Amino acid sequence: MNKRALYAVLLALLLPLVAYFIVKNKSETAVVMPRHYFADTVQEVVKRGKRQSDTVWHKVKDFKLTNQEGKTITWDDLKGKIVIADLFFTRCPTICPGMTRNMKRLAESIHNGKRVGDRSNHLVHFISFSIDPERDSVPRLKGWADRFQINPEQWWLLTGNKQEIYDLALNEMKVGLQDGEGVDTSFIHSDKFILIDSSRHVRGFYDGLDSASLSRLSSDLVLLTMEKDPARKSFFAGKLQLIAVVFLLAIFGVGLLLFVIRKKQ
45-49, 200-204, 258-262: the lowest-pLDDT one: 258-262
What is the mean predicted confidence (pLDDT) over 55-65? 95
Mean pLDDT (the chain) is 82
What is the mean predicted confidence (pLDDT) over 107-124? 69
Question: Which position has the higher pLDDT, 200 or 259?
Answer: 200
Q: What pLDDT, on the 0 to 100 scale, is given for residue 203?
A: 96
Q: What pLDDT, on the 0 to 100 scale, is given for residue 189?
A: 87
Interatomic CA distance for residues 176 and 45, integer angstroms: 32
pLDDT at 238 over 60: no
Is residue 226 very low, low, confident or very high in pLDDT (cuts 50, 70, 90)? confident
Q: What pLDDT, on the 0 to 100 scale, is given for residue 255?
A: 61
Question: Which position has the higher pLDDT, 257 or 96?
Answer: 96
Q: What pLDDT, on the 0 to 100 scale, is given for residue 2?
A: 58
Q: How far is CA 32 from CA 20, 88, 213, in A?
A: 20, 31, 17
pLDDT at 129 over 60: yes
pLDDT at 233 over 60: no
What is the mean predicted confidence (pLDDT) over 78-106? 96
Amino acid found at 38: F
Q: What pLDDT, on the 0 to 100 scale, is given for residue 223?
A: 92
Question: Which position has the higher pLDDT, 232 or 41?
Answer: 41
Residue 226 has φ and ψ, to the nearest 5°, of -95, -10
E strand spans, 6-96: 39-47, 50-57, 65-66, 72-73, 82-88
Q: What is the pLDDT of residues 136-189, one digit of tens each?
A: 999 999 999 999 999 999 999 999 999 999 999 999 999 988 766 556 778 888
Q: What pLDDT, on the 0 to 100 scale, is given for residue 164?
A: 97
Question: Which position has the higher pLDDT, 136 or 250?
Answer: 136
CATH of the structural domain 63-226, one choice from 3.40.30.10, 3.40.718.10, 3.40.1360.10, 1.10.10.350: 3.40.30.10
| Measured CA angle at 68 (ends 66, 72), to 5 deg | 25
Residue 249: other Cβ atoms inside 10 A: 10
Is residue 236 very low, low, confident or very high in pLDDT (cuts 50, 70, 90)? very low
The full set of domain ranges for the chain reads: 63-226, 234-265
Q: What pLDDT, on the 0 to 100 scale, is given for residue 6?
A: 56
Q: What pLDDT, on the 0 to 100 scale, is given for residue 235?
A: 45
Q: What is the pLDDT of residues 13-24, one digit of tens each?
A: 566 666 556 555
